[in-house]
């Protein structure tokens, strides 16, 4: 299932090296040849006990200042944060081919991760305290091959995430509700966290919502194992949100080819099953909304260090298989649209203001329980 997401940096490298025409004919094979490590997987030791008690193991957490998640677009007022504890797992930022997992001290990889956190996790900062761990993420190439090394790399990355989550639970205020969120590889790891550490436990009662964004979740074969329903109402708590953004004309073949041959969390095939599609503009399932419902899209500057926020730019409409359409005239957000008209990189930033409001609304519902 994991061999389907094409991340921006690798795509751009291939386009520069071989040109758009050649890529249009052989792009996926070229990506695999260029980006899948040729070295053997190297097993690495588990994190030492209490490794995540060290604040240096986090991009953001209480006690750290001037973190990426503290960023706000110009004109957005900084308010007193809500009472939630937020655990956010960042997407893939490592594209190396000399190893299968990122080193924690890789400055280039960490820099990319912080760009993602500014445009994604910052949307949750109004709801409470954001915790965002560093982890030995699997490289981009792990998503392009069926080699055993790819799954080993993902398992290693998940073990780090799980260790960080355990420390988060040990240090976070036990009386506060929890919001779980991630994107892409981070969302994949979040589905495993939900299955192994949340579903069917007392902890599940503390979950305001789980934002499993940029990763497919089958309504038929996955939701029950994740322990929560999809969000049907905008003010519902204890539910799961997920969306994958495409502009028209969309070609989600790369995702569907892998999704339809994969096995769900309940052991049944996912073939032909609809995916969870939460419309981030309405907060409801399988909905449509015009651009006027969009409270604010982030428009990044060239340095990716900041962005301005503009309302009413991007519509959203859930399609029959569960992909989110943003129409045929999306704004220019930069050069990072992926093959198939896949706006994966912008899943959060296109709907930043609505995600911010969504988290606050669901938190308010949870607190009224």
Tens-place pLDDT, residues 160-217:
999 999 999 999 999 999 999 999 999 999 999 999 999 999 999 999 999 999 999 9
Q: Which of the four pLDDT bands, split at 50, 70 and 90, describes residue 131? A: very high
Give the pairing of strands 84-89 and 324-325.
unpaired
SS3 state of residue 27: helix
Residue 3 resides in a domain:
no
Neighbouring C-beta atoms of residue 115, cutoff 10 Å: 16
Give the pairing of strands 239-241 and 245-246.
unpaired
pLDDT at 31 (0 to 100): 67
Backbone φ and ψ of 229, nearest 5°: -80, 165
Burial of 216 (0-12, 13-18, 19+ CB in 10 A): buried
Q: Rounded mean pLDDT of 256-262?
A: 90
Residue 1 resides in a domain:
no
Per-residue b or e along 321-336, where b marks 16 or more CB atoms closer than 10 Å to that residue's CB: bbbbbbeeebeebeeb
Token pair for 313? 């730019």
SS3 state of residue 236: coil
- Between CA 367 and CA 237 the distance in angstroms is 9
Neighbouring C-beta atoms of residue 217, cutoff 10 Å: 27
Residue 216 resides in a domain:
yes
Residue 134 resides in a domain:
yes
Question: Could you tell me what percent of the chain has a pLDDT over 90?
Answer: 82
Token pair for 306? 């900041």
Give the pairing of strands 58-60 and 324-325.
unpaired
Q: Which of the four pLDDT bands, split at 50, 70 and 90, describes residue 29? A: low
318, pLDDT greater than 60: yes
User: Which segment of 182-196, 333-347, 350-364 scores lowest on mean pLDDT?
Assistant: 333-347
Answer whether 0.85 is exceeded by the pTM. Answer: yes
For residues 282 and 289, is the Cβ–Cβ distance under 8 A? yes
The CA-atom distances, in angstroms, between 329 and each of 159, 248, 279, 300, 337 are: 41, 8, 18, 18, 13
Residue with tokens 């040729």: 38
- Between CA 190 and CA 127 the distance in angstroms is 19
* Backbone CA torsion sign across 367, 237, 206, 125: negative
**Domain extent for 283:** 8-367
Residue 2 resides in a domain:
no
User: Which segment of 17-26, 116-125, 139-148, 331-340 scores lowest on mean pLDDT?
Assistant: 17-26
Number of domains observed in the structure of the chain: 1
Q: Which of the four pLDDT bands, split at 50, 70 and 90, describes residue 145? A: confident
Paired residues of 299 in beta bridges: 308
pLDDT at 23 (0 to 100): 41
Residue 155 resides in a domain:
yes
Backbone φ and ψ of 225, nearest 5°: -70, -25
For residues 6 and 63, is the Cβ–Cβ distance under 8 A? no
Residue with tokens 């943003």: 326
- Between CA 274 and CA 321 the distance in angstroms is 5
The CA-atom distances, in angstroms, between 192 and each of 55, 189, 226 are: 24, 5, 8
Nearest 5°: CA angle at 67, between 65 and 71?
115
Residue 43 resides in a domain:
yes
pLDDT at 18 (0 to 100): 36
Burial of 202 (0-12, 13-18, 19+ CB in 10 A): exposed
16, pLDDT greater than 80: no
Q: Rounded mean pLDDT of 248-269?
A: 93
pLDDT at 115 (0 to 100): 94
Closest CA to 129 of 69, 216, 52: 69
Residue 48 resides in a domain:
yes
């Amino acid at each position: 299932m994991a061999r389907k997401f094409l991340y921006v940096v690798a795509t751009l490298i291939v386009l520069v090296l071989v040109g758009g025409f050649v890529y249009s004919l052989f792009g996926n094979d070229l990506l695999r040849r260029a980006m899948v490590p040729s070295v053997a997987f190297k097993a690495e030791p588990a994190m030492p006990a209490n490794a995540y008690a060290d604040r240096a193991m986090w991009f953001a957490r209480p006690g750290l200042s001037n973190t990426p998640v503290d960023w706000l677009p110009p004109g957005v007022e900084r308010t007193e944060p809500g009472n939630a504890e937020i655990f956010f797992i960042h997407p893939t930022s490592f594209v190396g081919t000399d190893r299968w997992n990122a080193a924690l001290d890789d400055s280039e990889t960490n820099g990319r991760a912080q760009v993602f956190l500014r445009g994604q996790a910052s949307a949750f900062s109004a709801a409470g305290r954001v915790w965002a761990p560093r982890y030995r993420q699997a490289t981009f190439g792990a998503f392009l091959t069926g080699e055993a090394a790819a799954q080993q790399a993902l398992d290693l990355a998940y073990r780090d995430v799980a260790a960080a989550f355990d420390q988060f639970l040990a240090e976070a205020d036990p009386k506060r509700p929890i919001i779980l969120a991630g994107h892409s590889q981070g969302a994949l790891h979040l589905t495993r966290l939900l299955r192994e550490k949340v579903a069917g436990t007392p902890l599940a009662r503390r979950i305001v919502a789980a934002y499993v964004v940029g990763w497919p979740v089958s309504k038929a074969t996955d939701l029950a194992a994740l322990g929560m329903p999809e969000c049907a109402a905008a003010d519902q708590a204890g539910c799961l949100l997920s969306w994958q953004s495409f502009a028209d004309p969309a070609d989600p073949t790369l995702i569907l080819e892998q999704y339809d041959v994969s096995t769900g969390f309940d052991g049944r095939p996912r073939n032909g099953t609809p995916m969870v599609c939460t419309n981030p503009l309405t907060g409801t399932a399988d909905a449509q909304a015009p651009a006027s419902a969009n409270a604010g899209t982030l428009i990044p500057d060239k340095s990716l260090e900041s962005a301005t926020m503009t309302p009413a730019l991007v519509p959203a409409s859930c399609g029959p298989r569960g992909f989110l359409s943003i129409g045929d005239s999306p704004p220019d957000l930069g050069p990072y649209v992926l093959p198939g008209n896949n706006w994966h990189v912008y899943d959060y930033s296109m709907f930043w203001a609505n995600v911010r409001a969504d988290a606050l609304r669901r938190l308010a519902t949870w607190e009224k329980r």
